[in-house]
Amino acid sequence: MNLASISYPQTGLKAAIAVFLGTNCEKETRMALEMAGFNVEYIFHTETNLEKFDLVVLPGGFSFGDYIKAGRLAKLSPVIESLREYVKLNKGFVLGICNGFQILCETRLLPGVLIENTKTKFISEDCALFFNNKEITIPIAHKEGCFWADEDTIKQIEKNDMVILRYKNNPNGSINNIAGLYDSKHHVIGMMPHPERAVLSQCGLADGKKIFEFLKTELLNFKKSCPTKNLSKKRVE
């Protein structure tokens, strides 16, 4: 199948994929977004103008300085400084996948931290998850994917319906089986699983498409409504 020859329905939504030194999932992420109808551009980590984008994606892989701690230096990048203002002004949505989730937590755009897996080993496997009360399967690939937060923060996360993904069989020790989060406004999303690696049934998994289709639907609803409207609150098991 020649993917380059396939045309996808257009939604008018514009997405930016921020590329850091070490990013390695930008191409899969672009394909997944284009399949969902997004117009996609790559931007470098030095970019500061995010005005024209409805969605900014921090993709998986690595970012410079991860040897200190995942996302610790990337949070100081110009694009992340601009992202803070983008979120503050409700310009659009943010999606962080794996390393992107780690960056969002380091930046405090999402609560908690991601620390080494309980068995201190890199995990790469297909993983059963709960998303919108349904079970899906998406790959994971991480060593620092164990989500941790203090008791009060966990209470706020659960109270405000901030969990978008939960592990069915917790592979890394994350508190409350948390695999992905919203921020309190439901505009910022971070997740350790890689939905962009599960959008083609020919490659074995296609449940990742559900994540991108959900994101597209929520963004379109957001654009039709007041700029301060939150994402739909959809509980997970």
The residues that are catalytic are: 98, 194, 196
Bridge partners for 180 per DSSP: 165, 191
Q: Are 110 and 196 in contact (CB under 8 A)?
A: no
Residue with tokens 């991480």: 142
**Residue 138 neighbours by CB distance under 10 Å:** 27
DSSP 230: P
Question: What does the block give as tokens for 133?
Answer: 């009360």
Name, in order, each residue with C-beta under 8 angstroms of 216's C-beta and a sequence gap of 6 or more.
Answer: 11, 13, 36, 37, 38
210, burial (CB in 10 Å: exposed 0-12, middle 13-18, buried 19+): middle
Helix (H, G, I), strand (E, B) or coil at 174: coil
Secondary structure, 3-state, 19-52: ECCCECCHHHHHHHHHHCCCEEEEEECCCCCCCC
Buried b (16+ CB within 10 A) or exposed e, 182-207: bbeebbbbbbbbbbbbbbbeeeebeb
